[in-house]
């Protein structure tokens, strides 16, 4: 599908792209009410086409948030931080006014150090700072397409080893682990994935490495891997591959971790930001 910046009227929803590369706001749907299968099919089609979709002014409580998530996939628990007592699949992504670090504050795709990383993540905004606290996403189909055919061919023969223990990202979890860490929050997870994965629903190829978790290429040392990884980490987040979303209370985002990365911007020290998050079971990247 070719993306344009014109709103597209589906049967029940209106889809308005927010940037050239990815991201669209969906209007015309109240997620707190029962959604029929036709509306869910339109939401899924828009999500697959735009990689990340946003719904504003949603009144979902946690039960409703989980119910909507279950219409998209299977919610799973996050390995490091406990979910809520009532809904263990929902974790609170909070930054308090005195904290300096924001959870996940680096470009990444979620938990790629697992053998089956989540296909999707959903975030609903409960409290937002007066300014700042936006999140950015980057299109990894376009990142792959932007490379020369020769380099694409090289990458198609490589696998990347992802680790949960890289310092730049693990330090962003520390405040939340202090509050609500799982008993084995010190465990290190590692997984090997193809550097270029084929999306199981769209059939498109996407670059599947990220600076937060990918430590090296399989069969190579970190020193050997670093020059090419550093080049790719820069290429995959070029401004023209990104979109940026301004949150309001009640905004809900649904993104596809199989073909998009995200980066929450840490520019609101002294203010509180509270989001609730659900991740959805993924398959083994291939």
Distance CA 30, CA 103 (A): 28
Q: Alpha helix locations (H) across the chain? A: 37-50, 62-72, 140-145, 149-156, 167-170, 174-180, 222-235
Min CB(275)–ligand SIN separation in Å: 5
Which residues contribute to the site for ligand SIN (CB under 6 A)? 93, 103-104, 121, 123, 135, 262, 264, 275, 277
Nearer to ligand SIN (CB atom), residue 75 or residue 264: 264
Nearer to ligand SIN (CB atom), residue 177 or residue 228: 177
Identify the active-site residue in 108, 173, 176, 193. Answer: 108
Identify the active-site residue in 62, 110, 175, 256. Answer: 110
Count of beta carbons in the 10 Å neighbourhood of residue 145: 14
Distance CA 164, CA 131 (A): 31
Instruction: Confirm whether 193 is a catalytic residue.
Output: no
Instruction: Confirm whether 199 is a catalytic residue.
Output: no
Instruction: Confirm whether 110 is a catalytic residue.
Output: yes
Distance CA 171, CA 165 (A): 9
Nearer to ligand SIN (CB atom), residue 135 or residue 225: 135
CA-nearest of 109, 130, 73 to 273 is 130
Nearer to ligand SIN (CB atom), residue 121 or residue 225: 121
In this structure, what token pair is assigned to residue 159?
A: 């696998």
CB 52 within 8 A of CB 136: no
Min CB(277)–ligand SIN separation in Å: 5
Min CB(203)–ligand SIN separation in Å: 26
Instruction: Confirm whether 271 is a catalytic residue.
Output: no
Identify the active-site residue in 205, 216, 273, 277. Answer: 277
By annotation, the residues acting in catalysis are 108, 110, 262, 277
């Amino acid at each position: 599908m070719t993306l344009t910046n014109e709103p597209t009227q589906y049967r029940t929803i209106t889809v308005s792209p927010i940037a050239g590369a990815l991201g669209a706001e969906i209007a015309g749907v109240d997620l707190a009410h029962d959604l029929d299968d036709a509306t869910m099919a339109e939401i899924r089609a828009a999500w697959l086409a735009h990689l990340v979709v946003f719904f504003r002014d949603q009144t979902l409580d946690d039960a409703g948030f989980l119910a909507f998530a279950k219409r998209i996939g299977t919610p799973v628990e996050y390995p490091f931080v406990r979910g809520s007592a009532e809904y263990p699949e929902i974790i609170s992504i909070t930054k308090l006014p005195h904290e300096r670090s924001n959870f996940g504050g680096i470009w990444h795709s979620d938990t790629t150090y697992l053998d089956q990383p989540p296909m999707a993540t959903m975030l609903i905004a409960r409290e937002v700072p007066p300014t700042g606290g936006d999140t950015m996403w980057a299109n990894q189909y376009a990142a792959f397409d932007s490379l020369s055919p020769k380099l694409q061919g090289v990458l198609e023969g490589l696998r990347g080893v992802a680790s949960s223990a890289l310092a730049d990202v693990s330090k962003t979890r520390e405040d939340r682990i202090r509050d609500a860490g799982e008993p084995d929050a010190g465990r290190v997870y590692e997984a090997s994935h193809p550097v270029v994965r084929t999306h199981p629903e769209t059939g498109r190829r996407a670059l599947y490495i990220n600076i937060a978790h990918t430590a090296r290429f399989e069969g190579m040392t970190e020193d050997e891997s670093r020059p090419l990884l550093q080049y790719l980490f820069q290429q995959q987040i070029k401004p023209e591959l990104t979109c940026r979303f301004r949150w309001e209370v009640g905004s809900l985002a649904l993104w596809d971790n199989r073909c998009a990365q995200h980066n929450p911007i840490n520019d609101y020290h002294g203010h509180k930001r509270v989001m609730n998050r659900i991740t959805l079971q993924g398959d083994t990247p291939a």
